[in-house]
Amino acid sequence: MDESNEHHEEHEGEDALIQEARVWQGQGWTARVIKNEDDEGWAVAMIKDGEPEPALVGPWTMGRDKKNPKPLDISAFHTLVKTANEVLRRHEQQLHARLHKSLRVNTNDGAVTVKLDIVPDEDDAYAILTAVDQFGEELASVRVRPDFKLTPGSAESWIEGGFRKP
């Protein structure tokens, strides 16, 4: 077998994406039209490559016969990919906001930024509480419980207490 033929076969396998009426793949996603379990209609599940669960499941339009689903096509798929990517981006932003909080406290020595960074871990979750002065110099950093509530009051108490572990 010569090398050019071998390379061609490999390349064919890479491009062998399914693009059918009920399953469409591309751009790192698979759209799969499924029976809607809540009613008689149809739904579409958007599954990111390598993920076990769909990132998004939404209603899907009936076809002209009012019985079968409308077939997937390239433009519908592009719209679904855009929507699914946006859902993931919002989810990541919400997760980041939950895990990383920050607030400023005015002290006699100037503004201090207090940050709480939660490190999620199924067995040993924890958080790091850090104080940084107005010039970006770290004043203190301590490990705290992952459910520590960062509020203006808790931040002020920590600063006034000499940055002792709360």
pLDDT tens by residue, 79-127: 999 999 999 999 999 999 999 999 999 998 899 999 999 998 888 999 9
* One-letter identity of residue 126: Y
Contact between residue 56 and residue 84 where contact means Cβ atoms under 8 Å apart = yes
pTM above 0.75, yes or no: no
pLDDT tens by residue, 45-86: 999 999 999 999 999 999 899 889 999 999 999 999 999 999
- What are the domain boundaries of the chain? 3-72, 99-160
- DSSP code string of the chain: --HHHHHHHHHHHHH---B-SSEEEETTEEEEEEE-TTSSSEEEEEEETT-SS-SEEEEE-B-TTSSSBPPP-HHHHHHHHHHHHHHHHHHHHHHHHHHEEEEEEEETTEEEEEEEEEE--TTT-EEEEEEEETTS-EEEEEEE-TT----HHHHHHHHHTTT---
